[in-house]
Amino acid sequence: MNTFKNKKQYKRIVGPLIALVAILVTSCFEPSGTVFTKVPAPDYSGVRIDLSTASDTIFIDQPTLLYVNTETGSRKVFSIVLYLNDTVVYNDYSTFWIEPRSHAKGPQPLRLVMTMATGDGSLADKVGVSSVEVTHNYVAVIDASPMTPKITAFDSTGGTMTVRWEKYERSDFQHYTLYKMCSSNGYSFDDCQEIQINSRGQNFWNDVDYVGGAVRYRVNVTATHELYGQIRSYYWILETRYTLDGKRPVLHWSKLLYYSNAKNIVVNYGASTLGVSDTLYTDATDLGGGEIRSDHITITSAVSSQNYSFNIESYRGKLFFNRALPYRYNPAAKVYYSFNGYMQVLDDSLELVTTGIPPWLSMSAGGTHLITGGYDGSVITMREIDPVTLETAGTIYQGASVANSYSGVSDNGIVVLSKYPNNYGLQLPDYHVVFQANGRTSGMAISPAGTYLMSNDSIYKFNGSVYQGWMNISPGNDYSLFIDDNTLITISPGGLMKRIVAGAKNTSSFNLDNVFPYSLEYDPVSQRLLIWTNTGAVIVNPENGNVVVRFSYYCHLVNGKVFFSEYSGSSFIWLPYSEFE
Amino acid sequence: MKSGLFFTLVLLWMVPEAVSGQEFFLLGGISQQAMGDMKRLQQNAAINGPVQLQSTQRFPAYLQFSGGGLWRIPGDNKVGFRIFGTSTGARNYYEDYSGYIVEDYQLVNIGLTGRIEHLLILKKKSELSVFGEVGESFTRLKYDAAIRIGTSSDASVQKFKSKNLVGNLGVAYRYHLTERFFLMGTVGYEIDWAGKLSDSHGNNIYVNTTPVAAGWSGIKLLGGIGFRLRD
């Protein structure tokens, strides 16, 4: 145990041990060494970026999709951006969509910029932070002006008709062609004039021939392609009335709007020729004898004329009117509807309230819904209209179910119509389908409150959301209508009339001798049916099928009045239905 | 691992009872080590980077410093201990005009072994012995990576460690300068049973699916000075 006796000696080893520790700590290996790699300059000779265009000047006159073609070798593409006048163009990966209406017109710098990896193999390249931009500059010639010019105005300044349309601004203009379509009845039109205009700046035409009536125009543009414009309709009609000067009728009419186009006014088939500024004519005839006679105004121009008829009548000493024959009465608005080329709205005293173009009308029994259909340019539409102004008053419907024929509308807003090969029930205001079945294009009917619907020899009942089959009726009817919400009347060739009480599923049949129906109407005031036949009109009691009266001429039974027209529908007289019972 | 440390402590416990002479020595020299796993790790990192890195150093032979003490015991034998410290490292590197990327590996190994020597030849001023050692070492790996591209740079440091069982066989030569001081040289071959390197959360480093160890096995050539205490 003498080993540790000499502590002094052991102290001598402390210093070396400390030195050993110090050496260990300070002599650690330190990694070192650098190697610089020279990277060769990249070769971009094969790199390119192009748009799918034939040249670097791109004409964009309609929404255009541009495709991008790139050649980058193995280099990664980080982004491709197209700048149109320094504004980023919307892109979808490798395609760009340019809407010319969103950009200024004229030449614009179009810059296609691709950001891609340098591809030189450097460290920055390998980690994807080394990039180079490749730019291809183009010029985009923007032209957002309309392709097909729209007719913008019908101008009567100076007493002549000026048709104005949008100027065609594009560079490929060759000429305008204006087509004028004339009508003798207000609803069928034929081309009557074709004018070629070679000056781009002449985007108007003076129709020195138009003196009034319904007319349509369309402007086409011949450019790179033939561009077809939309048809615009226009009408102006002479407002007429009469007064009595003693026993002599005095004809009044409104001042001519297109007076410069008019040559003169001819009254009563040439009985008198007046100046274009004249607005009245006093007939020499004494009406005291109660005879019926006609008067007629013709506005003539140098090359055409427009006729307006006055029928001044003293039939049975009742009333004289110069309106077209009323055929429907709207109990809600208390107005009559008549049609003689133009739709006319007459008030309860049969004075004219409104004149409008719509040629077709379907009214619910209570008058709460009026539906009309027609053309807006080339698109077939269906719309609700105001009962008095005839202006659009509801949702315009354009779609696949627009009808081949319209059969009616109920007071709760269900339109029934046919579009081959189906019959439909569409509920307003959104026209959603509540009925659809294969069927004929005639013979549909809907009850006034919409409870029942008839289609293709079957009656369907509304369950609140759709129509469901209710009862079948024997086939063969040509015309049908609900006289109330529960009772259906059908008329067949040969005069077989059925009265079907839908709620009771009860059918009664009546023979109408010598009645070959053309149409079927019902007047809820007189509670009688009016049927047009091949020889005239008959009034029938729907309760028992009895023919109340036969007429050798055509008439309408509306609001308890029988309206007659003996002069081509241009005037009428009326008598109360009670006189015929 | 524990057996190596246990063996060393047993030897040191025997010393006070058995010794009749004491000597201490300080040695320095070259440590060569295999580092097979580490070289594979370095190579794997070099080829799997964004660019092909070049290895400027691959765990070369480096300095080892050690010191210890021995006590004579009967039968021309000595027992004692040795403390040693070794270091090595490696670097992967790439640089071009755009920037550089560097990966440094720094390994430090510190160990304690129990040592037994047997005298073979004794002459007037010199002696030749064979020795054997068993003990334990602790390895620390510091992985330092940095990248710089243009003016942007990023760096990260990760540290791992392992415990290893150490064995060493060799010969020792002493030349006596005086009665108490002598010069000493040893050459030996160290065998390591290296533990797997892991971080502070116990996560290993892998090459493919194999955990990596820092293997220090190799030839150790040391020289230095020693002195004897008076009995």
Of A20, A30, A121, the CB nearest to B26: A20
Of B26, B101, B104, the CB nearest to A31: B104
CA distance B16 to chain A (A): 6
Does residue B153 carry a pLDDT above 90?
A: yes
Of B56, B62, B230, the CB nearest to A6: B230
* pLDDT tens column, A38-50: 988 888 888 999 9
On chain A, the residues whose CB falls within 8 A of the CB of B65 are 20, 23-24, 27
CA distance A125 to chain B (A): 9
Which percentage of chain A shows pLDDT scores above 70?
Answer: 85
Q: Which pLDDT score, from 0 to 100, does residue A403 have?
A: 62
Rounded to whole angstroms, the Cα distance separating B25 from B138 reads 22
Q: Which pLDDT score, from 0 to 100, does residue A442 have?
A: 62
Mean pLDDT of B132-160: 95
Does residue B19 carry a pLDDT above 60?
A: no
Residues A140 and A98: beta-carbon distance below 8 Å:
yes
Phi, psi angles (nearest 5°) of residue A571: -155, 170
Does residue B64 carry a pLDDT above 60?
A: yes
What tokens were used for A325?
Answer: 């024959």
Interface ipTM? 0.86
Rounded to whole angstroms, the Cα distance separating A427 from A410 reads 9
Q: Which pLDDT score, from 0 to 100, does residue A496 have?
A: 83
Rounded to whole angstroms, the Cα distance separating B12 from A132 reads 70
Please report where in the chains the tokens 């009428």 appear, as a residue: A572
Phi, psi angles (nearest 5°) of residue B2: -65, -30
- Cβ neighbors of B181 (< 8 A, separation 6 or more) are B225, B226, B227, B228
Q: Which pLDDT score, from 0 to 100, does residue A3 have?
A: 47
CATH code at A237-317 = 2.60.40.10
CA distance A112 to chain B (A): 27
For residue B68, list its beta bridge partners. Answer: B25, B82
pTM of the model: 0.49
Whole-number Cα distances in Å, A172 to A40, A484, A520: 53, 62, 56
Q: Which pLDDT score, from 0 to 100, does residue B141 have?
A: 96
CA distance A142 to chain B (A): 42
Does residue A4 carry a pLDDT above 70?
A: no
Q: What is the DSSP string of A147-207?
A: SSPPEEEEE-GGGSEEEEE----STT--EEEEEEEE-SSSS--EEEEEEEE--TT--EEEE
On chain A, the residues whose CB falls within 8 A of the CB of B109 are none
Does residue A568 carry a pLDDT above 90?
A: no
Least confident of A167-176, A408-417, A567-576: A567-576
Q: Which residue has the higher pLDDT, A8 or B86?
A: B86
The CATH class of the A486-581 domain is mainly beta
Q: Which pLDDT score, from 0 to 100, does residue B147 have?
A: 94
Q: Which residue has the higher pLDDT, A428 or B205?
A: B205
Does residue B11 carry a pLDDT above 60?
A: no
Q: Which pLDDT score, from 0 to 100, does residue B31 have?
A: 96
Q: Which residue of A has its CA nearest to B21?
A: A3
On chain B, the residues whose CB falls within 8 A of the CB of A10 are 229
CA distance A122 to chain B (A): 7
Rounded to whole angstroms, the Cα distance separating A254 from A108 reads 55
On chain A, the residues whose CB falls within 8 A of the CB of B89 are 29-31
Inter-chain CB proximity B26 and A28 less than 8 Å: no
Which of B229, B230, B231 to probe by mutation at the A interface, max A CB count within 10 Å?
Answer: B229
Which of A6, A24, A131 to probe by mutation at the B interface, max B CB count within 10 Å?
Answer: A24
When the candidates are 3.40.50.720, 3.20.20.70, 2.60.40.10, 3.40.50.300, the CATH number that belongs to A151-235 is 2.60.40.10
Q: How far does Cα A368 stand from its chain's mean position?
A: 22
> CA geometry: angle at A462 spanning A459 and A464, to 5°?
175
Q: How far does Cα B188 stand from its chain's mean position?
A: 12
Name the 3-class secondary structure at A282: strand
CA distance B81 to chain A (A): 13
CA distance B108 to chain A (A): 7
For chain B, where are the E strands, in sequence order? 22-31, 54-58, 62-73, 77-96, 99-122, 126-149, 152-176, 181-194, 206-207, 210-211, 218-228
Do the domains A48-142 and A323-472 sit in the same CATH topology, yes or no?
no
Q: What is the mean pLDDT of chain B?
A: 90
Q: What is the mean pLDDT of chain A?
A: 83
Which of B79, B96, B184, B227 to probe by mutation at the A interface, max A CB count within 10 Å?
Answer: B96
Q: Which pLDDT score, from 0 to 100, does residue A144 have?
A: 79
Residue A554: half-sphere exposure toward Cβ, Cα within 13 Å = 16
Q: Which pLDDT score, from 0 to 100, does residue A360 have?
A: 65
Q: Which pLDDT score, from 0 to 100, does residue A374 have?
A: 61
Of A19, A27, A32, the CB nearest to B57: A32
Residues A429 and A413: beta-carbon distance below 8 Å:
yes
Q: Which residue of A has its CA nearest to B65?
A: A24
Name the 3-class secondary structure at B102: strand
Inter-chain CB proximity A32 and B15 less than 8 Å: no
Rounded to whole angstroms, the Cα distance separating A46 from A71 reads 7
Residue A457: half-sphere exposure toward Cβ, Cα within 13 Å = 8
CA distance B28 to chain A (A): 9
Interface of chain A against chain B, CB under 8 Å? 1-4, 6, 9-10, 12-13, 16-17, 19-20, 23-24, 27-39, 121-127, 129-130
Rounded to whole angstroms, the Cα distance separating A254 from A270 reads 20
CATH 2.40.160.20 matches B2-228: yes
On chain A, the residues whose CB falls within 8 A of the CB of B87 are 27-29
Q: Strand B22-31 and strand B218-228: pairing?
A: antiparallel
Q: Which pLDDT score, from 0 to 100, does residue B20 have?
A: 61
Rounded to whole angstroms, the Cα distance separating A153 from B224 reads 115
Least confident of A260-274, B38-52, B177-191: A260-274
Rounded to whole angstroms, the Cα distance separating A572 from A283 reads 19
Q: Which pLDDT score, from 0 to 100, does residue A227 have?
A: 85
Residues B71 and B25: beta-carbon distance below 8 Å:
no
CATH code at A48-142 = 2.60.40.10
Least confident of A364-368, A427-431, B171-175: A427-431
Of A1, A6, A35, the CB nearest to B229: A6
Rounded to whole angstroms, the Cα distance separating A502 from A458 reads 10
Q: Which pLDDT score, from 0 to 100, does residue A441 have?
A: 55
Q: Which residue of B has its CA nearest to A41?
A: B97
On chain B, the residues whose CB falls within 8 A of the CB of A2 are 231
Which of A4, A8, A126, A132 to probe by mutation at the B interface, max B CB count within 10 Å?
Answer: A126
Rounded to whole angstroms, the Cα distance separating A237 from A212 reads 6
Which percentage of chain B shows pLDDT scores above 70?
Answer: 90
Torsion sign (Cα): A519, A523, A527, A530: negative
Res. A325 pLDDT band, cuts 50 70 90: confident
Q: Which pLDDT score, from 0 to 100, does residue A291 have?
A: 44
Whole-number Cα distances in Å, A566 to A402, A517, A569, B199: 36, 20, 7, 113
Q: Which pLDDT score, from 0 to 100, does residue A20 have?
A: 75
Inter-chain CB proximity B93 and A35 less than 8 Å: yes
Which of A4, A26, A28, A131 to probe by mutation at the B interface, max B CB count within 10 Å?
Answer: A28
Mean pLDDT of B157-184: 95
Whole-number Cα distances in Å, A117 to A48, A112, A131, A150, A420: 13, 17, 4, 51, 62
Res. A161 pLDDT band, cuts 50 70 90: very high
Q: Which pLDDT score, from 0 to 100, does residue B127 have?
A: 94
Name the 3-class secondary structure at B113: strand
- Cβ neighbors of A91 (< 8 A, separation 6 or more) are A80, A81, A82, A97
Res. A155 pLDDT band, cuts 50 70 90: very high
Of B95, B105, B227, the CB nearest to A34: B95
Name the 3-class secondary structure at A230: coil
Inter-chain CB proximity A23 and B28 less than 8 Å: yes
* pLDDT tens column, A372-388: 876 554 445 677 888 88
The superfamily CATH assigns to domain A323-472 is YVTN repeat-like/Quinoprotein amine dehydrogenase (2.130.10.10)
Specify whether the backbone of A536 is left (phi greater than 0), alpha (psi in -120 to 50) or beta.
Answer: left
Q: Which pLDDT score, from 0 to 100, does residue A483 have?
A: 94
Delimit the domains of chain A by residue range: 48-142, 151-235, 237-317, 323-472, 486-581
Rounded to whole angstroms, the Cα distance separating A69 from B94 reads 36
Q: Which pLDDT score, from 0 to 100, does residue A2 have?
A: 44
On chain A, the residues whose CB falls within 8 A of the CB of B57 are 31-33
- The b/e string for A499-513 (b: 16+ C-beta within 10 A; e otherwise) is bbebeeeeeeebebe
Inter-chain CB proximity B98 and A122 less than 8 Å: yes
* pLDDT tens column, A56-82: 999 888 788 899 999 998 899 999 999
- Cβ neighbors of A145 (< 8 A, separation 6 or more) are A61, A105, A167, A168, A169, A170
What one-character DSSP code corresponds to residue A351? -
Inter-chain CB proximity B66 and A20 less than 8 Å: yes
Does residue B224 carry a pLDDT above 70?
A: yes
Phi, psi angles (nearest 5°) of residue A23: -65, -40
Whole-number Cα distances in Å, A294 to A251, A314, A316, A449, A565: 11, 11, 16, 43, 12
Residues A33 and B80: beta-carbon distance below 8 Å:
no
Q: Which residue has the higher pLDDT, A439 or A333?
A: A333
Burial class (CB in 10 A: 0-12, 13-18, 19+), A472: exposed
* pLDDT tens column, A200-245: 999 999 999 898 888 889 999 998 878 888 788 888 877 777 676 7
Does residue A504 carry a pLDDT above 50?
A: yes
Rounded to whole angstroms, the Cα distance separating A98 from A82 reads 10
Range picked from A95-109, A121-135, B107-121 for highest mean pLDDT? B107-121
Q: Which pLDDT score, from 0 to 100, does residue A54 have?
A: 80
- Cβ neighbors of A26 (< 8 A, separation 6 or more) are none
Does residue B28 carry a pLDDT above 80?
A: yes
Inter-chain CB proximity B98 and A37 less than 8 Å: no
* pLDDT tens column, A485-502: 999 999 887 788 889 999
Delimit the domains of chain B by residue range: 2-228
Which percentage of chain A shows pLDDT scores above 90?
Answer: 32
Compute how many other C-beta atoms are within 10 angstroms of the C-beta atom of residue B134: 20
Select from A420, A417, A442 the least CA-distant residue to A431: A417
CA distance B145 to chain A (A): 12
